[in-house]
C-alpha cells in the first residue's frame, strides 16, 4: 500500500469513527428516553412507584443538552413548568404523583432539583444561543438564593428545601445537594459572591463530615448552632444512595480535590464487584447487596477506573441508576 493510499484509508476510517460516535451516544440517550420519559415530558421514577421529581427533570434536561437534543429538552422543560412550578416563590415542587387526586400534595421544593433545572437552562442557553433559557435560569437562581440559602453557625449553606429544615437550634443538610460545578457556573454567570461562598463553605463543611471508622459523610446531617455536626436523627446514619453523589459532584468540580480521599480510602477496601451499596457509619453494618449501575460508575470515576465507564444501560436498571450512569459518563466526557 502506498503512503497516499494509507493516508486516505486512515482518513476514511477516522471519518467513519467520527460519524458513528454521535449515533452511539444518541442510541444511549434514546434508550433512556424510551424507558423513562413520557410522551408529554415527565421523567418516570421506575424504582419509586412511577412518581416524578424535580431532580429527575433536572437530570434529564442536563443530559438533553449534553446529547444536543433540543426537542427533548423543550419537552422536559414544558412539562416541568406546567406541572411543578410554584408561582408563589418561583421554585419547583419536588414530587409529582399521577396516581393521586392532587399530584402535588407536598408543596415544598427540593433545592438540588431547582439547582439542576437552573443549571440545565444555563447550559442550554449558552449551547443553543437562546436568551430565553438564560433569563429563566437567572430568575430561578435568584429564587434559590432567596428561599434556600442561609447563613448559619458561620457557614453559608443551601437548605434541602424552603420549608422544614431550619429547626432554629440546628439546620438539616443533605451534602449530596452541594452541587459545586453548578454553583461555579452560576457565579460565572451572575458574578454574585454568594455562589462562591457556598462553594467554599460547602467544601469546608465536607471536611468535618467524617463519621465512624469509615470516615464517610451521611445522606442527612445536622449542623448545630455551635458549628458542630451530627447525624440527622430522622434518617438512618448511612452513607447511601443520596451521599454517593457527593464524590460525583466533587470530581465534576475538581477531580484532584482532597475531599475525594475519604471515598477512595473506603472503596479501596473492597473489590469492585464486592463494594456494598451502603454502610451504616455508626454500626458499620453494610448493605447485603453491592453497588451497581450508576452508583458503581461513580465509584469507578472516583477511583480513576475509567476502563469500566460506559453509557450502555442494562435492562434491569431503574431511573435513578440509569441517570447517574449517564451523568457520570457525561462528566467523564467533559473532563
Tell me the domains of the chain and their CATH numbers: 28-334 (1.50.10.10)
- Please give the Cα distance from 17 to 166 (Å, whole number): 53
> Residue 23: what pLDDT?
39
Q: How far is CA 95 from the centre of its chain?
A: 16
Q: Is 74 a catalytic residue?
A: no
In the set 27, 40, 45, 55, the catalytic residue is 55
- pLDDT for the residue numbered 158: 98
Cβ atoms < 10 Å from Cβ of 288: 7
The residue from 45, 69, 112, 185 that is catalytic is: 112
* Distance between start and end Cα atoms, the chain: 38
Per-residue confidence (pLDDT) for residue 88, from 0 to 100:
97
Handedness of CA 14, 20, 22, 24 (dihedral sign): negative
Contacts of 229 (CB under 8 A, 6+ apart): 205, 208, 209, 221, 222, 223
With residue 60 as reference, give the H or E element that holds it: helix 54-66
Active site residue 138: no
Q: What is the pLDDT of residue 335?
A: 87
Regions of the chain with pLDDT less than 70? 1-25
> Given this model, what pLDDT does residue 24 score?
43
User: Of the candidates 249, 231, 126, 233, which has an alpha carbon nearest to the alpha carbon of residue 181?
Assistant: 249
Query: In Å, how far are 18, 61, 313 from 28, measured between CA atoms?
Result: 17, 15, 7
Cα 330-331-334 angle, rounded to 5 deg: 85
pLDDT value at residue 332: 97
With residue 95 as reference, give the H or E element that holds it: strand 95-96
User: Which uninterrupted H or E stretch holds 319?
Assistant: helix 319-334
Give the Cα separation of 181 and 222 in Å (integer).
24
Distance CA 187, CA 206 (A): 20
In this prediction, residue 7 carries a pLDDT of 40
Amino acid at each position: 500500500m502506498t503512503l497516499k493510499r494509507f493516508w486516505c484509508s486512515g482518513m476514511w476510517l477516522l471519518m467513519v469513527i467520527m460519524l458513528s460516535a454521535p449515533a452511539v451516544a444518541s442510541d444511549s440517550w434514546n434508550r433512556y428516553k424510551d424507558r423513562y420519559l413520557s410522551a408529554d415530558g415527565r421523567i418516570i421514577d421506575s424504582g419509586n412507584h412511577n412518581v416524578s421529581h424535580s431532580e429527575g427533570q433536572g437530570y434529564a434536561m442536563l443530559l438533553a443538552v449534553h446529547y444536543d437534543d433540543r426537542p427533548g429538552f423543550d419537552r422536559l422543560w414544558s412539562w416541568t413548568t406546567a406541572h411543578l412550578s410554584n408561582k408563589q416563590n418561583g421554585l419547583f415542587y419536588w414530587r409529582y404523583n399521577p396516581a393521586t387526586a392532587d399530584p402535588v400534595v407536598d408543596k415544598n421544593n427540593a433545592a438540588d432539583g431547582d439547582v439542576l433545572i437552573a443549571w440545565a437552562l444555563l447550559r442550554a442557553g449558552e449551547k443553543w444561543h437562546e436568551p430565553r433559557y438564560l433569563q429563566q435560569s437567572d430568575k430561578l437562581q435568584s429564587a434559590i438564593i432567596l428561599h434556600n440559602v442561609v447563613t448559619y453557625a458561620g457557614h453559608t449553606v443551601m437548605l434541602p428545601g424552603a420549608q422544614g429544615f431550619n429547626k432554629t437550634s440546628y439546620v438539616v443538610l443533605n451534602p449530596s445537594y452541594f452541587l459545586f460545578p453548578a454553583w461555579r457556573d452560576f457565579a460565572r454567570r451572575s458574578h454574585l459572591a454568594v455562589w462562591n461562598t457556598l462553594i467554599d463553605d460547602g467544601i469546608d463543611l465536607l471536611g468535618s463530615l467524617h463519621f465512624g471508622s469509615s470516615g464517610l459523610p451521611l445522606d442527612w446531617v445536622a449542623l448545630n448552632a455551635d458549628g458542630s455536626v451530627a447525624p440527622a436523627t430522622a434518617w438512618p446514619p448511612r452513607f447511601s444512595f443520596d451521599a454517593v453523589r457527593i464524590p460525583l459532584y466533587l470530581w465534576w468540580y475538581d477531580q484532584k480535590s482532597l475531599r475525594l480521599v475519604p471515598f477512595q480510602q473506603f472503596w479501596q477496601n473492597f473489590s469492585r464487584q464486592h463494594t456494598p451499596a451502603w454502610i451504616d457509619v455508626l454500626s458499620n453494618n453494610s448493605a447485603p447487596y453491592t453497588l451497581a449501575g450508576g452508583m458503581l460508575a461513580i465509584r469507578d470515576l472516583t477511583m480513576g477506573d475509567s476502563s469500566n465507564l460506559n453509557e450502555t444501560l442494562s435492562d434491569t436498571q431503574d431511573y435513578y441508576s440509569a441517570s447517574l450512569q449517564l451523568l457520570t459518563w457525561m462528566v467523564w466526557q467533559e473532563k
